[in-house]
Chain A
């Protein structure tokens, strides 16, 4: 048997605060193939972000290990670049500078100055932000900021691209536009992507597999749905597609019938 590309093995997470200890995640086992687009979906507080941050190395799991190409993940690094929910651009740098700070650090030794410049511009072009390269984050819209965030992450040439509710803060039209961009980029570069989302349509539209999490505390993987829709996918055609409707219904059924937010948590 060949080595899995990305493997979560018995991940469990406990947060301790004083005497109190809460189990957030338990028994997470998941294998992700190279080039696969996987979404994590679940209600708020189910530990999706915790799991993503463990993969990103920003958090250490209490039990279990994450293996990327056979190596244990235990610190943050550019091979697992993260697109943050609130874009996290540095406000004192230009759009160009925000991508360049990552490129210069990651490829400072392996690429010449011109190559690094070209690489920054290439990634800005990929997200259609090259024309705004000299603007500062406060001068561009939320959608544009998120594009730059994606460009910064892509520019690190990560083995896995991590996206933490990347479109959560955007309006519906901008979100649809960015989803299309992400699909296009994924088709072109074949990245392995792990994305957190709240949005059922987004999960079904973008993913090869949707990982559905049970409610926390002690959340774990409830079900994994394979989305067998041909790519490239177009949202207009899919709106009337039977398979799309079935997948969508399956996720909704999981989230709202079987794993409804308990009343006390919702209050």
Chain B
């Protein structure tokens, strides 16, 4: 095999014993593996990741098709879903006025609400979490309340917030906020409490001020915990927005589903479900990626 013999010829072990000429031979170049071999390895690696889910999805669709194909089936088979919802799938940007808009507008409306509600939750949650993490008394006083409140289902807040805000839009934002804030508070406070004493000692020895400790030690040391909370929070807020939109109406992927149900467009519902799942997945990955970037990969450890 030519590649192997070439490798032996340039290896440093054979180059060293010739003192006079060693300067020319010492440059060590790893033998180039044939491009084909590398491409094959790459393809195998990618196939290993992509193929299993594809097979499972294919099988599920097949079984679904079988189960729902007979006449009188209550749910449409995949082929019918695609055929029925074809307009909705191929043109996400249509806008016929009112709430009759394409998938892109529906989803971006929902994402906008999540963006606002979740941002508030992130800022307030991290601030409260830091406060609680630093004070034993605040922890003892507030933690039981949080532990109870965080189990309240998102929709249970909606009537109360409608009563308080009297408008549906701020109510939806409030539901997002109140749903996603608990894991952010709790994780942040745990992170602050878990800052190693060593870091505090370092801060004490170099005499960092309170503000410098917060900015240079507390916050960066807590980043992995904060992002764990943010990831759980963004998932919860995406769960909550769909339910909240079903009740408050208007444009948004949640009400789209409700509207589709009311007009018996079952296929549209199924397509919307797939979109919601994908968007939720992407949101989670987005927060994880930001967390990875912000913590310089330390969070992954």
Query: Footprint of B on A, CB under 8 Å?
Result: 56-58, 75-78, 80-82, 84, 86, 88, 90-93, 101-102, 105-106, 136, 138, 156
Chain A hits for B39, CB < 8 A = none
Q: Are B205 and A56 touching (Cβ within 8 A)? A: yes
Given contacts A80-B205, A90-B202, A106-B206, contact A136 B296 (CB under 8 A): yes
What separation, in Å, do the CA atoms of A56 and B206 have in the docked complex?
11
Q: What interface size band does chain B fall in? A: 20 to 34
Closest A residue, CB atoms, query B294: A92
Q: Residue-by-residue, is B179-211 near A (CB-CB < 8 Å gives 1, otherwise 0)?
A: 000000000000000001011011011111000
Q: Are B220 and A101 touching (Cβ within 8 A)? A: no
Q: Shortest Cβ distance from A139 into chain B, in angstroms?
A: 10
Closest B residue, CB atoms, query A156: B206
Q: Which of A78, A84, A86, A88 has the most CB of B within 10 A?
A: A88
Q: Are A92 and B295 touching (Cβ within 8 A)? A: yes
Task: Classify the secondary structure of B's interface with A.
Answer: helix
Q: Shortest Cβ distance from B81 into chain A, in angstroms?
A: 48
Q: Residue-by-residue, is B207-246 near A (CB-CB < 8 Å gives 1, otherwise 0)?
A: 1100010001100110100000000000000000000000
Q: Shortest Cβ distance from A229 into chain B, in angstroms?
A: 32
Chain A hits for B298, CB < 8 A = 91-92, 136, 138
Closest A residue, CB atoms, query B201: A58
What separation, in Å, do the CA atoms of A102 and B202 have in the docked complex?
9
What separation, in Å, do the CA atoms of A197 and B169 have in the docked complex?
65
Q: Are B205 and A77 touching (Cβ within 8 A)? A: yes
Q: Shortest Cβ distance from B181 into chain A, in angstroms?
A: 25
Q: Shortest Cβ distance from A49 into chain B, in angstroms?
A: 12
Q: Are A88 and B207 touching (Cβ within 8 A)? A: no
B301 close to A (CB within 8 Å): yes
What separation, in Å, do the CA atoms of A145 and B39 have in the docked complex?
39
Q: Are B204 and A76 touching (Cβ within 8 A)? A: yes
Chain A hits for B217, CB < 8 A = 90
Q: Are A105 and B221 touching (Cβ within 8 A)? A: no
Q: Are B296 and A92 touching (Cβ within 8 A)? A: yes
